[in-house]
């Protein structure tokens, strides 16, 4: 296992390099010039050139990339154009809220989806199964922005049950209750898709597991349905479900961008929107690379969890 993990980490290095090159090329091919946002419309060509030189944009693209890569390897992700502050501290300050939001989303999704999937499989072909399956299709189909705006209008504007946006710190006014209060709507929006998707996965895998010979043998021996479910069914059904963590994490990151913007959540998603609007290339490069690292490590975590859940899986 150790050799496999080391091999995967070494393989991630060229992948990250290719991602950084691709992101750098796309950002520089995008229309517009960052200097347009920081100079007066009446600025002279000399003033524009001085601004480009100050931002480090006067060099050829390969030189800019090599300089960025060299500084990034030393922990220097560049300077934010608008504030002239280092990118790294700004990035670090936004990671915490996003981790809270995404962590709560995954926790809620699994706690709800796994029991619903099991229930749907056990009631296969009944009205309960049809209801849960139909609800899952609806949950997969609703866009984040539509659901978010709808929840804000109903539960914040009309009923006044939840705040329209923002984040409450655990140590701030209201404490834990206020923090949960601010989390409810954004977590509901983000988890809607994952609850629906994981419910469908869990249902299909449980139906398949119930048809296996070892389940039939256990049933023929007279084992209780609950014992068969807990000892043999769930563990084998979880293997395909674990895959969702790795395959759907990029979608979760993308959904967090929209959700954070709608609910004014002070995380990486909202920072990404601001960086795009202000053409903050160093910030966008840092966010892109951080997202790539998270996705790569999530997939490695999924592979390790395979071996934990199913001892038959060996990595040589």
Q: Tens digit of pLDDT for each residue in 91-134? A: 888 888 888 888 888 889 888 988 888 888 888 888 888 888 88
pLDDT at 133: 87
Q: Are residues 24 and 99 in the same domain?
A: no
Whether residues 100 and 53 fall in one domain: no
Given a contact cutoff of 8 angstroms between Cβ atoms, the answer to whether 167 and 182 are in contact is yes
Tokens (6 digits) for 237: 């059904």
Please check whether residues 117 and 253 belong to one and the same domain. Answer: yes
Shared domain check, 246 and 171: yes
Per-residue pLDDT of the chain (316 residues; tens, 9 = 90+): 677 778 878 888 888 889 888 888 888 777 766 676 666 667 777 777 777 777 777 777 888 888 888 888 888 887 777 777 888 888 888 888 888 888 888 889 888 988 888 888 888 888 888 888 888 888 888 888 888 888 888 888 888 888 887 776 655 566 677 778 888 889 998 888 888 888 888 888 888 777 777 777 777 777 676 767 666 677 777 777 777 776 777 777 777 788 888 888 888 888 888 888 877 888 888 888 888 888 888 877 777 777 666 666 665 5
Total-model pTM: 0.78
68 and 213 co-located in one domain: no
Residue in this structure with the two tokens 């939001």, named with its chain if needed: 101
Same domain, 202 and 257: yes
Q: Both 139 and 281 in a single domain?
A: yes
Quick one: 136 and 219 in the same domain? Answer: yes
Answer yes or no: is 175 within a domain.
yes
> What is the domain count for the chain?
2
Classify residue 158: in a domain, yes or no: yes
Cα–Cα dist 123/264, whole Å: 41
Same domain, 68 and 159: no
Note the pLDDT of residue 309. 65
pLDDT of residue 310: 63
Specify whether 23 is located in the same domain as 169.
Answer: no
Interaxial angle between packed helices 127-141 and 175-210, expressed in degrees from 0 to 180 and rounded to the nearest 10: 120
Residue 316 placed within a domain: no
3-state secondary structure of 40: coil
Domain-located, residue 210? yes
Phi, psi of 280 (to 5 degrees): -85, 85
- 106 in any annotated domain: yes
Q: How far apart, in Å, do the first and last CA atoms of the chain sit?
A: 7
Domain that residue 294 falls in: 94-309
Q: What angle do CA 241, 120, 180 make, to 5 degrees?
A: 65
Position 171 scores a pLDDT of 57
Residues 113, 45 share a domain: no
Query: 79 by DSSP, 3-state: which?
Result: strand
Same domain, 150 and 267: yes
In a domain? residue 13 = no
Helices (H), 87-174: 87-122, 127-141, 144-151
Helix (H) or strand (E) holding 295: helix 281-309
- The answer to the question of residue 98 being in a domain is yes
Residue 7 inside a domain? The answer is no
């Amino acid at each position: 296992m150790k050799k496999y993990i080391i091999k995967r980490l070494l393989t991630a290095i060229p992948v990250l390099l290719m991602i950084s090159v691709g992101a750098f090329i796309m950002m520089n091919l995008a229309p517009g010039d960052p200097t347009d946002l920081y100079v007066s419309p009446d600025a002279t060509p000399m003033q524009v050139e001085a601004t480009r030189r100050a931002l480090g944009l006067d060099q050829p693209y390969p030189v800019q990339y090599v300089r960025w890569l060299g500084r990034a390897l030393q922990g220097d992700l560049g300077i934010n154009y608008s504030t002239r502050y280092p990118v790294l501290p700004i990035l670090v300050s936004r990671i915490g809220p996003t981790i809270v939001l995404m962590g709560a989303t995954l926790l809620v999704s699994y706690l709800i989806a796994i029991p619903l999937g099991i229930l749907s499989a056990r009631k296969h072909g009944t009205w309960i199964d049809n209801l849960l399956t139909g609800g899952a299709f609806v949950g997969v189909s609703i866009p984040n922005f539509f659901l978010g705006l709808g929840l804000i209008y109903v539960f914040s504007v009309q009923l006044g049950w939840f705040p329209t946006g923002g984040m409450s710190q655990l140590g701030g006014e209201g404490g834990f209750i206020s923090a949960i209060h601010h989390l409810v709507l954004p977590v509901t929006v983000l988890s809607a898709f994952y609850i629906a998707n994981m419910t469908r996965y869990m249902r299909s895998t449980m139906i398949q597991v119930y048809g296996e010979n070892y389940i039939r043998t256990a049933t023929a021996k007279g084992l209780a349905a609950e014992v068969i479910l807990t000892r043999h069914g769930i563990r084998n059904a979880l293997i395909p479900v674990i895959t969702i963590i790795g395959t759907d994490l990029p979608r979760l990151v993308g959904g967090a961008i929209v959700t954070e913007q709608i609910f004014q959540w002070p995380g990486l998603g909202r920072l990404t929107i601001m960086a795009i609007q202000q053409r903050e290339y160093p910030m966008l490069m840092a966010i892109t690379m951080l997202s790539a690292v998270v996705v790569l490590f999530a997939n490695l975590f999924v592979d390790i969890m395979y071996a934990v859940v199913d001892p038959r899986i060996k990595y040589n």
